[in-house]
Structure 1
């Protein structure tokens, strides 16, 4: 049995450091409040959980693989894939789809999906690197990427649906880190000068 890098001593200080940076950033912009701090805490706990469950285990004494990188990467879509893995990968990024609209200036379904795709790609690349160089315990899989993006999209769609409840906008605005930017189509254009 190989010795593993302990998870909690890595992810807890990392999450605490990120939380401190986020809270300081909110305070500097005059946006720090209890609801926004709660979003920062949820984001850091969520991110720590994602890292703990997608990057670890990392082994301390497992020999570095001399096998080709392709041994820890699945790039051919629609090969056999477990339904349980698909469901887990969808659920993994649903919270991110809910959080992104609270963090960005302009709420957009495409922005949430884009963030989900970037985060998922970062997870898969990290898994490939740790599997090959550090004896990590995960395989990077294109299916994970696809189902993660579906999860981010579902989370974003849930946010949009919840935001359409008549009482929701004032509550949601207390948790948002930015004021809504004016819609360029709605901004009044100056009248042409006649004369």
Structure 2
């Protein structure tokens, strides 16, 4: 008799996902003549980050979820700050801080509304994927409005840290090496 909670293995899904994303990003950099070691490092960081987010927010997915007598309704938490633990909030903030920095490195002109819109879109996508995984694939996470709010807060904090670094001349010079679009690159390209 098999274990009723057999799971889809995580690593065979997220490792190829990370490799494919990394290859696409490097090809994108090469096609736009932005290929450099610091930018490839950002591509690697983004690829690993995405794989980690998928592994920790979509999985576990149970292959043999136990049957139920009544129709199953996916779990969704839509009321903010109800039955939400401080530890969960802090984890969600911390996990999305890197996204705020990565967005600022990747977009041409990082602005508050751009960073927050991309972070909100990414967080909403995660919550919707969790809901879909629950409904259609035996997913083990709850879609939660609190996760969304604290994810976006974390990305905003990451962007604040980015802004603090680029306020100094040294910090700005260092960050420019990692940015995917710099002012010099924009001037050289025929746009």
TM-score by length of structure 2 reads 0.90
Q: Which 5+ residue runs of structure 2 have no aligned equivalent?
A: 185-191
**Greater Cα shift, 13-22 or 162-171:** 162-171
Distance in 1 (CA, whole Å) between partners of 2:157 and 2:67 is 38
Identify the residue that residue 72 of structure 2 maps to in structure 1.
Answer: 67
Identify the residue that residue 89 of structure 1 maps to in structure 2.
Answer: 92
Distance in 1 (CA, whole Å) between partners of 2:81 and 2:171 is 39
**Secondary structure of residue in 2 paired with 1:57:** coil
Q: Check the 8 A contact 1:97/1:156 in 2, yes or no.
A: yes
Larger-gyration structure (1/2): 1
Q: Which 5+ residue runs of structure 1 have no aligned equivalent?
A: 182-195
1:112 aligns with 2:115: yes
Deviations 1:52-102 (A, max 9, x none): 000000111215773223xx1111122121111000111111000011111
Structure 2 counterpart of 1:31, from 28, 31, 34: 34
Q: Check the 8 A contact 1:94/1:155 in 2, yes or no.
A: yes
Q: Check the 8 A contact 2:165/2:172 in 1, yes or no.
A: no
Q: Structure 1 pair 17/64, CA: closer, same or farther in 2 (3 Å)?
A: farther
Structure 1 counterpart of 2:60, from 52, 57, 60: 57
Identify the residue that residue 42 of structure 1 maps to in structure 2.
Answer: 45
Distance in 1 (CA, whole Å) between partners of 2:61 and 2:73 is 19
Identify the residue that residue 180 of structure 1 maps to in structure 2.
Answer: 183
Structure 1 counterpart of 2:126, from 123, 129, 132: 123
Identify the residue that residue 25 of structure 2 maps to in structure 1.
Answer: 22
> Which consecutive segments of 4 or more residues in structure 1 shift more than 2 A?
63-66
TM-score by length of structure 1 reads 0.88
Distance in 2 (CA, whole Å) between partners of 1:42 and 1:124 is 22
Q: Structure 1 pair 28/122, CA: closer, same or farther in 2 (3 Å)?
A: same
